Structure 1
Amino acid sequence: MNHWNDLLVLILIVSAIYMLIYFGYLGFTRYVKNKRINKKYIALIYKIRLFYKPIAWIVVIGGFVALDPLTHGFIILLVAGFVFKQLGNYVSGLFIRSSPLLAVDTVVKAGKMRGRINRIGSLGLVLITDQGERWVWYNSFDHTGFTLISNHTNVQQRALYLKSELSKEKLQNLIFDHPILVLGKPIILKALQNENTYLLHYTLVKGAQHEDFINFLQDHEVLINSTEKFDS
């Protein structure tokens, strides 16, 4: 990329693709309202739309840096330093917002806090709690873990911290061996900075007991915690 006109063309291309995805999602959602089509296709298009936006920004920023790697690269690093916390919230929010259970009126439990989702933002959630409305950053869920409870299906999605000597692949295989998890629902196992420590997002089948899954993991010498700080 050698000229500003090239960057403008790049912006127009990624914007046009996003608009196609956006209107395609709206059109498909309206179409299936009166059709018996599996909702997983709607969820798939929603995830594509959700994750395409940051990818588009990365592409545009890459094109901007390519015009003048030294100067523009320094500018991007400077801006990133000022908005680092917001970027962390946004990235955490991408994975939380991709959950099919995350919707207005879903009940959220995180640590001692419990509330009903009133609004979903790019950086956090507005919850209705016993003390009134409360803004919660997505980053806070990474530190405390959380549970999503759908008011319509009573299905639960939970977040749990694990510590195990098993490799990530073997731990994933162990998790998928348990029948308590909902097939077809997203199960995310994320390696953390602390050695052998992972953050697990999973969905329970209707009527299943969370404690059964915890006991299953503990029987296989997997440590369980509600935060990433395990006792030494």
Structure 2
Amino acid sequence: MEQLLPSLLWSDLFKAVLVTGLVYAGLSFGRLLLQGLRINDSRKRVLGNGLARIRAFYEPLALIVIGVVFVLINPLMHSLIMGSVVAMSWSPLREYLSGRFLRITTELRPGQELIFGQEEGTIRSLDTFGLQLQTAAGSRLIGYRRLKNEGFTLQQGSRTSGFHELQIARADADAAGTERLEHRLFTCTYLDWRHQPELFALPDQRGWQLRVLLRCGDHLPAFRQLLEEWGYTIAPQAAPRTSSLFQDRPN
């Protein structure tokens, strides 16, 4: 059997890790670079979501490539090793792959309000094997396989639980610009710094789209008042829209 397969060297494995790592780093850097581009905010989000989907697809693909190269170095011995590793990690591996599937096929992202069964809360983070959902009872980890198999609903809109999107503009010429505004946000005690504030310049260059996570949803009026004291006006927010991405299915 070994004679039928190409023989690779450890240097080939190093090259595979290097190349796949550089491509992954490029995708990650592309998302950071996108934040600094002066383009329409909606277009920036579309591009950002596209890069996130590409990266979610690329991650398991890169691992498969590295695994195949590793096996081909010594097909008999290394295939036994890989088989043992996959068998021992089958359960978390299924969670990981389910997570990649959901990231590619849905709009899951931190800050969205999610309804899962009888629970409703805000997505705090998308982890490797599940997402952290902040509910009224506290934070809990929900596995991606459960989400995929049992179904969930996403609330889509300009405001979700402790996450808020505000369109702000200078009320007068003395109001601070982008750099000073970012510095002021850094000193704001209302913000939950598990999610860094996102600030996008509007196309007309007269204001910003601000996305923040507040430590408590009740802090919103005080936060809005603070922005006004800093010299900014806040545009009215549209009512949120709800869309069901997965329907509940019986087990």
**Structure 1 position 99, deviation (Å):** 5.4
- Residues in 2 aligned to 1:43 and 1:119: alpha-carbon distance in whole angstroms: 15
- Alignment correspondent of 2:103: 97
Q: Judging changes above 3 Å, is the alpha-carbon distance between structure 1 residues 109 and 73 closer, same or farther for their aligned structure 2 residues? A: same
**Counterpart of 1:61 in structure 2: which amino acid?**
G
- Given the alignment, which residue of 139, 151, 161 partners 1:145? 151
- Alignment correspondent of 1:56: 62
**Structure 1 position 123, deviation (Å):** 0.9
Q: Judging changes above 3 Å, is the alpha-carbon distance between structure 1 residues 100 and 111 closer, same or farther for their aligned structure 2 residues? A: closer
Per the alignment, in what secondary structure is the counterpart of residue 245 of structure 2? strand
Equivalent runs, 1:94-133 vs 2, <5 Å: 94-98=100-104, 101-133=107-139
**Counterpart of 2:104 in structure 1: which amino acid?**
S
Unmatched 5+ residue regions in structure 2? 1-6, 159-239
**Counterpart of 1:143 in structure 2: which amino acid?**
N
- Residues in 1 aligned to 2:122 and 2:30: alpha-carbon distance in whole angstroms: 30
User: What fraction of aligned residue pairs are identical, expressed as a percent?
Assistant: 27
**Cα distance per residue 1:61-109 (max 9 Å; x no partner):** 0000011111111111111111111111111111222356322221111
1:47 aligns with 2:53: yes
**Structure 1 position 227, deviation (Å):** 2.0
Q: Which deviates further from its counterpart, 147-156 or 49-58?
A: 147-156
Q: Is the 8 A contact 2:106 2:245 kept in 1?
A: no
TM-score (norm 2): 0.59
- Select the structure with the greater relative contact order (CA < 8 A; seq sep ≥ 6): 2
Q: Which deviates further from its counterpart, 98-107 or 49-58?
A: 98-107
- Alignment correspondent of 2:74: 68
- Alignment correspondent of 1:159: 246
Q: Judging changes above 3 Å, is the alpha-carbon distance between structure 1 residues 44 and 79 closer, same or farther for their aligned structure 2 residues? A: same
**Structure 1 position 151, deviation (Å):** 4.0
Per the alignment, in what secondary structure is the counterpart of residue 159 of structure 1? coil
**Counterpart of 2:249 in structure 1: which amino acid?**
T
- Between structure 1 and structure 2, the one with the greater Rg is 2
1:227 aligns with 2:249: yes
**Structure 1 position 130, deviation (Å):** 2.5
Per the alignment, in what secondary structure is the counterpart of residue 108 of structure 2? coil
- Residues in 2 aligned to 1:228 and 1:61: alpha-carbon distance in whole angstroms: 36
- Alignment correspondent of 1:35: 39
- Alignment correspondent of 1:77: 83
**Structure 1 position 49, deviation (Å):** 1.6
Q: Judging changes above 3 Å, is the alpha-carbon distance between structure 1 residues 25 and 130 closer, same or farther for their aligned structure 2 residues? A: closer
- Residues in 1 aligned to 2:136 and 2:64: alpha-carbon distance in whole angstroms: 40
Q: Judging changes above 3 Å, is the alpha-carbon distance between structure 1 residues 41 and 104 closer, same or farther for their aligned structure 2 residues? A: closer
- Given the alignment, which residue of 20, 33, 42 partners 1:14? 20
Q: Is the 8 A contact 2:8 2:69 kept in 1?
A: no
Moved over 4 A (4+): none
- Residues in 2 aligned to 1:130 and 1:85: alpha-carbon distance in whole angstroms: 29
Unmatched 5+ residue regions in structure 1? 161-225
Aligned residues: CA RMSD: 1.9
**Counterpart of 1:17 in structure 2: which amino acid?**
V
Q: Is the 8 A contact 1:110 1:146 kept in 2?
A: yes
- Residues in 2 aligned to 1:143 and 1:19: alpha-carbon distance in whole angstroms: 32
